[in-house]
Amino acid sequence: MDGLLAWRKEFPILDKTVYMISHSLGAMPRRTRDRLQEYADAWSERGIRAWEEGWWQMPVAVGDLAGRIIGAGPGEVVMQPNVSISLSTALSCLDWTAKRNRIVSESMNFPSNLYIARALERQGARLITIPSADGITVPTERLLEAIDGETAVVMVSHVLFRSSYIQDLKTITRRAHDLWGALEPRLTGWMAHKHSFAFEPDPIEYADDAFRFLNGTPNVPAMYAARSGYEIINEVGVENIRAKSVRQTARLIELAEEAGFRVNSPRDAGQRGGTVVIDVPSGEQVTKELLRREFLVDYRPGAGIRIAPHFYTKDEELDLTIREIQSITTECPARSI
């Protein structure tokens, strides 16, 4: 018996789809609709007073929920609109004309992050990317060798989006330490000020806590929408989710290989995230057909079809997904998919 399946009733879309795209967008919890109604009610009934009644603190309050998942302490995580803004804010703290101006990353980092780092070369930054020999993993020892006395930032993904390879962050962070308390972002705004509502003239006096990494007025409805997912993950338990993920991704790999498909994800469970990447002929067209048939996955060029079960996934849905891929590739010649 899989006790985690009791959570399926909390996610309406699971009633009508095989939802295997949790790496990109998790299924919406029922309570998210209620949260968004709370936002609408607060704006409607409390108006401007809502800022003093919780809205202003939401970037940190929701950040604390996310922080519990990743092992951060209270007040150490703030919410930004997206990773690009978060990364740009962090990188804006540094002087790229100094001798210590190297950014060490991996060539398989998410392109948006590399775009930002590459753009900083115009200001003097030097981007060093560690290649992958197999298109799946990144050699940790090569990355560590690249971190030297001229390195300003180590910018790596915990899990590589193309392959689901888990990088050894514990080892990497022994060489790269967090100095956030001394950083002063140039990408900033009034939320980062120690006394925001004093409306003091410049220069800014940065907040002593993680508020210093915020900028303009926060996207309040987005945080209402986000918090339910973090609450549920904390209620279910990261350890329980990880144990099921390891088991189901191992089964997916087994099924894919039995079907004759190439798997572009690590076989070692300790190096594998929650996604299995399967390379099939005409993968992009196969993915479009899967979506049409209500099997929700996605495709990444140079990698394959990304399939991500979650704690709410039934074991039989793994078999259904691989069988559906087999059916599509068998019934339709590659040229006509």
**pLDDT computed for residue 331 by the predictor:** 80
DSSP per residue, 203-214: SP-B-SSGGGG-
**pLDDT computed for residue 333 by the predictor:** 59
Question: Domains of the chain by range and CATH?
Answer: 3-27+237-336 (3.90.1150.10), 32-232 (3.40.640.10)
DSSP per residue, 263-310: E-S-SSGGGB-S-EEEE-TTHHHHHHHHHHTTEE-EEETTTEEEEB--
Q: Is 165 helix (H, G, I), strand (E, B) or coil?
A: strand
Take residue 233 and report the two structure tokens written for it.
């993950």
Q: Is 94 helix (H, G, I), strand (E, B) or coil?
A: coil
Give the predicted TM-score (pTM) of the model: 0.91
**pLDDT computed for residue 248 by the predictor:** 98
Kindly tell me the sign of the dihedral angle through the C-alpha atoms of 314, 316, 317, 322.
positive
**pLDDT computed for residue 334 by the predictor:** 53
Q: Give every residue of the chain whose pLDDT is below 50, as ranges.
A: 335
**pLDDT computed for residue 178 by the predictor:** 85
Interaxial angle between packed helices 58-70 and 220-236, expressed in degrees from 0 to 180 and rounded to the nearest 10: 30
Name which of 266, 253, 238 is nearest 321 in CA terms: 253
Per the DSSP assignment, residues forming a β-bridge with 296 are: 19
